[in-house]
A and B are shown apart, each in its own frame.
Chain A
Amino acid sequence: MTSAGSMHGTAYEADYQAVLARAGSTVAGFPPALRSVAEPMLPQWGEASFSRIVALLPYWIADLLDRSPPRDAGPPIPHPGDTETLALANLLGWWSYLLQDGLVDGDLEPGSFLPLSMALYTAAVGLLAQLLPGDRAFWDAFERLSLASSEAGAWEQRLRLDYLKDRMTIDPGLVEPERLADRSALLELAVAAQFSLRGLDQEHPLYAALCEMLRHYAIARQIADDRSDWVQDLQNGQVNFVSVRILRRMLEIGAIESLAELDVERMVGYTLYDEALFAGIQQEAIDACRRAAQCIAPYRSRLLDSLVSDLAHDLERNHQVARKSRRQVQAVFALHGKGSVQDLRSL
């Protein structure tokens, strides 16, 4: 996904560069062994669209709160530099999470990257402790969201690594999109922090609206990621939300009788002919975008609206590209004729 050219991607470019510079300084202060692992990663991390989103979210929330403060709040309390520090904490926290994800995927070597992930997390929490040392509402939210994030991570690990062991059927809960929403914990933390920095009450409807919007956004984003990665994940012996959906469909229509028959090549071959399956997955992601947009519609945040509408646009574009690709493969193998899979499917 490319957000760099969109409204939410360009509005705070100078701020993003400042946050990146501070992230570089933070990493430069790590012990040499960790620094040497982290520094080569920084350019790639800095370019990643989600790094930008995670870092700039505190600015977008600040923009919204400045323009539309909750009615029962006093004037915003200025804290020069706090939003930048919060953005840095968010970014370091995201990079820590990114490394954890890479470790779960088996893409990274634990000896180097696990300590780096812990160092980034420690730095992020240290910054939050500087910003909000005694704010009970924030640290309660921090504890709740950390637990939700940990549970989501543990669930994903079970799903990705252990699910295929000794399994013959699929738990319905594994294909519920709501399970993906807890990935938004880091984003919700930015809301909690910004409200606390401004002395605003978490009970205000805007707080709930922002958190709910981010949960729906996280669902859509994760479906998009999993739709992209399911083949590669399966080749690594891991399932994700989309491949579980495909397996469930194959079980339902009798294409396979148990998960023991799982075969990446077969699944790829099968999916070329099940447009309805991908249309359904696409619809769920678009519905999540729509719900995200509805949550914040009353507050008229052009930046957050742009974040959601760009995701919806990318989802649609990528869905159409993949659809076209599937049609091209069908054309190559002339699969609509007699004896084709299409033909066999109708038996």
Chain B
Amino acid sequence: MARQDLERLIGRAVLDPEFREKLFTDPEKAVREAGFDLTEEELAQLKSIDAQKARALLEEAEAIPAAEWK
């Protein structure tokens, strides 16, 4: 995957809760539907994410960086 695609995928996961949830539920389908081109290794990395832990972490980090100054 090109660097910009990986940055974009992560950025989308941060900004778009719906995409993020799809990514945790079915990474392969989410990536395919979004049109990202992942290697097998990268896909395996995404599949290995502990969704429950990730949800908790991202919920806490939800605001990056928008809620920094309220």
Which B residues lie within 8 Å of A231 (CB)?
15, 65-66
Which B residues lie within 8 Å of A334 (CB)?
45, 48-49
Whether A325 lies near B61 (C-beta < 8 A) is: yes
B16-39 near A? 1/0 per residue, CB < 8 Å: 000000000000000000000001
Which A residues lie within 8 Å of B14 (CB)?
268-269, 272, 329
Given A325-B61, A332-B49, verify A227-B68 contact (CB < 8 Å).
yes
B29-70 near A? 1/0 per residue, CB < 8 Å: 000000000010110011011000110011011111111111
B17 to A: closest C-beta gap in Å: 13
Contact residue among B13, B53, B62, B69 (Cβ-Cβ distance under 8 Å from A1) = B69
Which A residues lie within 8 Å of B48 (CB)?
334
Whether A225 lies near B69 (C-beta < 8 A) is: yes
Which B residues lie within 8 Å of A264 (CB)?
11, 15
Q: Determine chain A's interface SS by DSSP, over half rule.
A: helix
Among residues of B, the one whose C-beta sits closest to the C-beta of A330 is B10
Whether A228 lies near B7 (C-beta < 8 A) is: no
Which B residues lie within 8 Å of A268 (CB)?
10-11, 14-15, 64
Question: Does A267 belong to the interface (CB within 8 Å)?
Answer: yes
Whether B9 lies near A329 (C-beta < 8 A) is: no
Which B residues lie within 8 Å of A326 (CB)?
61, 64-65
User: How many residues of B are in contact with the other chain, CB < 8 A?
Assistant: 34
Which B residues lie within 8 Å of A324 (CB)?
61
A201-244 near B? 1/0 per residue, CB < 8 Å: 00000000000000000000000110111111000000000000
Contact residue among A266, A332, A333 (Cβ-Cβ distance under 8 Å from B8) = A266
Whether B64 lies near A270 (C-beta < 8 A) is: no
Which A residues lie within 8 Å of B63 (CB)?
325
Complex Cα distance, B13 from A207, in Å, reads 50
Complex Cα distance, B66 from A64, in Å, reads 36
Whether A329 lies near B41 (C-beta < 8 A) is: no
Told that A263-B8, A328-B60 touch, could you supply 18 new A-B pairs with CB distance under 8 A?
A228-B65, A229-B69, A261-B4, A264-B15, A265-B9, A265-B11, A265-B15, A266-B8, A266-B11, A267-B11, A269-B6, A271-B65, A272-B14, A318-B68, A325-B63, A333-B10, A334-B48, A340-B6
